[in-house]
Amino acid sequence: MAGAFARERGCYPSEALRVSLPAGHARATLVRRPVLRPSGGDLRIESLSGRPLSVSLIEPFVIASGRVDTTRAVEVEACLSYNGKRATGLGEAACLPPVTLEDQPDVLRAIDRAAPALVGLALPANPRDLAALLHGLLPGLPVTRAGIETALLDAMARISDLPVRSLLGGELGTLTTALETDITISIAEPGHMAHLARAWHARGFRSLKVKVGADFDADARALEAIGRAVAGVRLRIDANAGLSARQAIALARECDNLGLTLECFEQPCAASDLDAMAEVAATIGAPVIADESVKTYEDLAAVMQRGCARGVNLKIAKMGGMFPAYRIGMAARAGGLKLMAGGMVETRLGMTAGAHLACALGGVDFVDLDTAWLLESDPYEGGYSASGPHYSLSGAAGLGVGRRATEKA
């Protein structure tokens, strides 16, 4: 499918993405992806704004480092113009303090400050240069950058008549449209966690992401209760940096003793304690997935160099945008790491962006794009259809997501 920019040139140019890996890993050209090259006109931002995106959860979402009752995100709206054609894009800047340093008021202020510099600006027409531009304008604000970049990519893809996954991943992104996600069981009383596990399993979810890390003994009881409630279920446990290496190893061994299938162990230890992460990774059988430890390309290089994990969780908000997350994912895969696509506590808008990221990569090993189902209401429509854990992305241009009629006033 050709884009608007490419049609003027009679072709659809592409560029190779190269990554530099730590010593011991080969440097390789990994993928060829589309590059939009406007000719005869400029791609410009006509307007940029943000508004609070606060949606109540069905029940509290509790992890080792905090609790969420209502999403603390910002919806970013960007209108772009190119040769008389206009498109509006949406992005979700998802805050999750203390996992993210930015909170909703910080993002709203940052967008208000950035808008005068961005509106009227002639934009670079490929995702790599767009990400670099935003990083220079908004250093230290990855959540804000992520929301703005997603909205801009959504609008760029709409102008080009391409899905965002194609804009990022080229033909591979175009061809990849289906994903299977897990569902998250947050920290609660073990009996209630078992009840939720049984209910979600009845709806077809074969993998459960179980939050742990606040209380080791309670974690062990919860895992045992879930194992009894749902025989044969596959577990992905996530400590959100809440355990010591000794505790994490003991918890993994408890899973083995209980006969539980442990697919992966996400962020067992503190983000900065790479020695502890490496100890766990070297000891347990399941792959350790780095989440809080990898927010930047440089973080990934350090984790790979130290052998701290066998996988990485790609999150648009923490990595500052879709392209930075895509770049980290390509480098991680080239280095032999497994990939997880995840998010903060986000609506359909954010989950759709995460799904496009995963599809741009040709799919990932672990999909954790479930939080829209944990919310009391859905302010958006489109983007994907779902049957149980199975995502199917539409072929619509951009993200294909729009506000519901009740949200448009």
**Peptide bond connecting 34 to the previous residue in cis, omega within 30 degrees of 0:** no
Q: Contact, 80 vs 46, CB < 8 A?
A: yes
Residue carrying structure tokens 């446990």: 237
* Three-state secondary structure call for residue 232: coil
- Section 18-24 average pLDDT: 48
Residue 17 pLDDT greater than 80, yes or no: no
- Residue 344 is given by DSSP the state S
Domains of the chain: 14-172 (3.30.390.10), 175-407 (3.20.20.120)
- Section 45-59 average pLDDT: 98
pLDDT of residue 30: 43
pLDDT tens digits, residue range 343-357? 999 999 999 999 999
According to DSSP, the residues that pair with 16 across neighbouring strands are 32
Residue 301 pLDDT greater than 50, yes or no: yes
Phi-psi region of 90 (alpha: psi -120 to 50; beta: other; left: phi over 0): beta
Reported as a pLDDT band with limits 50, 70 and 90, residue 126 is confident
Residue 264 pLDDT greater than 70, yes or no: yes
Q: What is the CA angle 132-343-133, rounded to 5?
A: 10
- Section 329-339 average pLDDT: 98
Cα 148 to the center of its chain, rounded Å = 15
First to last CA, the chain: 34
Reported as a pLDDT band with limits 50, 70 and 90, residue 408 is low
pLDDT of residue 40: 41
Q: Contact, 107 vs 147, CB < 8 A?
A: yes
Please state, in angstroms and rounded to a whole number, the distance separating the CA atoms of residues 109 and 96: 17
pLDDT tens digits, residue range 144-178? 999 999 999 999 999 999 999 999 999 999 999 99
pTM of the entire predicted model: 0.91
pLDDT of residue 125: 84
Phi and psi at 181, nearest 5°, equal: -100, 160
Please state, in angstroms and rounded to a whole number, the distance separating the CA atoms of residues 348 and 299: 28
Please state, in angstroms and rounded to a whole number, the distance separating the CA atoms of residues 264 and 312: 11
- Section 297-305 average pLDDT: 97
- Residue 79 is given by DSSP the state E
Residue carrying structure tokens 């113009």: 81
Reported as a pLDDT band with limits 50, 70 and 90, residue 42 is confident
- Section 362-388 average pLDDT: 97
- Section 238-253 average pLDDT: 98
pLDDT tens digits, residue range 184-240? 999 999 999 999 999 999 999 999 999 999 999 999 999 999 999 999 999 999 999
Tell me the pLDDT of the chain averaged across its residues: 91
According to DSSP, the residues that pair with 18 across neighbouring strands are 29
